[in-house]
Structure 1
């Protein structure tokens, strides 16, 4: 299950008012902090905790405005890798999810290719993702440590837009996310600094259980076939 923890700015983005009623996809978080939810996952009543290994992948969503354009910054809680893209339709979580997954997979494939990951391994990792993450939840909750890293991304985004031009195309967003992923990070509970680019790719290949052993690939349709 994907869990999107939304800052105050993101909460506003995901909320719309119609006929005096505030409509939003957000629901109260089961814990005060993301760390607690990671340690003791709690699933919505309509989600089977055992389905798809009971996995939760936490992200923090933030929204910033640069030159009157809204951008969404979506940072992986563990790796601190940040997806950056133009804001989708306000209050439309489906539109957001479609863009989020498109950008996330594109960023992973780009980084995996640069790291020398075999294309079949990368396609298998995506197939694992599609199998495991079929539900999601949105919570009004932030994290001080992640917010610090998000603020850094926002600062560089603003500098980029004012000095070198607005980010508008998918490849520009990927390049920007990869650039931000090269900065050394630190976080509570980590013994040393880490780099978001490396941890993000490792998350796909390790946490998606690629190392469990050989898979039956007889009926697998590789995404790479569609990219040729």
Structure 2
């Protein structure tokens, strides 16, 4: 399952008030830190942990405003690859999930093509993604290390918007994300610097087990029907 850990700014974005009642898709996290959840995954009661290999893919969601436009920064906890796109409808997690998945797959295909990944292998990785990630959860939780990298992305985004114009089109966001993924990064527990672009691609091609052969996706439940 996909786990979206939301900073304070993102938590506010995913919350709306209707008739005096605050409505939000966020639910309390099972652990204080993301690292604990990665080490010891805990699944919601209505999710069968072993149905999809007990895999959790953690992301950290942040929201920033540049020249009156809101942008969502969604960073992969492991690779630190950051998807960047215009904010979707406030408080609408389905709208967010649709845009997130569209941008994530587009970014993967863009990077895979640049790296020379075989198209059949790339398609197989995407099929395995759809097979394994059919539900998700939103938690109000951040991470200091990830936040540092998110702040760096936010700074470059602001510079880009002020100097070269606002980012508005999908191809602009993909190119910006790939550009940010070229910077060397470090994180606690890593023995050396790493590059987000490389680790992100490796996540798809290794962790998603593309070498196992084709999978049947005829009964895949997509994130638009995620657990409520």
Q: What range is the shorter-chain TM-score in?
A: over 0.9
2:135 maps to: 135
Corresponding position of 1:199: 199
- How does the TM-score come out when normalised to structure 1? 0.94
Offset from partner CA, 1:133-175 (integer Å, 9 cap, x none): 0000000000000000000000000000000000000000000
Question: Where does 1:99-118 land on structure 2 (aligned, <5 Å)?
Answer: 99-118=99-118
Residue 220 of structure 1, CA deviation: 7.2
Q: Distance in 2 between matches of 1:209 and 1:54?
A: 14
3-state SS of 2:29 partner: coil
Equivalent in the alignment of 2:8: 8
2:166 matches 1:166: yes
Gap runs ≥5 in structure 1: 222-228
> Paired residue for 1:124?
124
Q: Distance in 2 between matches of 1:19 and 1:206?
A: 48
**1-structure distance, mates of 2:26, 2:217:** 35
Q: Report the alpha carbon displacement of residue 216 of structure 1 after superposing the two structures with TM.
A: 4.2
Rounded Cα–Cα distance in structure 1 between residues aligned with 2:64 and 2:75: 13
Q: Following the alignment from structure 1 to structure 2, what is the Cα–Cα distance between the partners of residues 11 and 51?
A: 29
- Residue 222 of structure 2 corresponds to none
Look up the SS of the partner of 2:42 in the other structure.
coil
Q: Quote the offset at 1:63 in angstroms.
A: 0.1
- In structure 2, the partner of 1:225 is none
Aligned residue-pair number: 218
Query: Offset of 1:209 from its aligned partner?
Result: 1.2
- Report Cα offsets for 1:31-54 as digits up to 9, x if no partner: 000000000000001100111101
Distance 1:29 1:118 in 2: 38
Quote the residue 1:23 is aligned against. 23
Root-mean-square deviation (Å): 1.1
Structure 2 residues not aligned, in runs of 5+: 219-228
Task: Name the counterpart of 2:37.
Answer: 37
Distance across 2 between alignment mates of 1:216 and 1:106: 21
SS in 2 for 1:52: coil
List structure 1 runs of 4+ shifted beyond 4 angstroms: none
Task: Show the counterpart of 1:181.
Answer: 181
Shift of 1:210: 1.6
Q: Is the contact between residue 4 and residue 60 of structure 2 (CA under 8 Å) also seen in structure 1?
A: yes
For 1:204 and 1:220, locate their aligned partners in 2 and report how far apart those are by CA, in whole Å.
17
Aligned counterparts of 2:80 and 2:30: Cα–Cα separation in 1? 22
SS in 1 for 2:26: coil
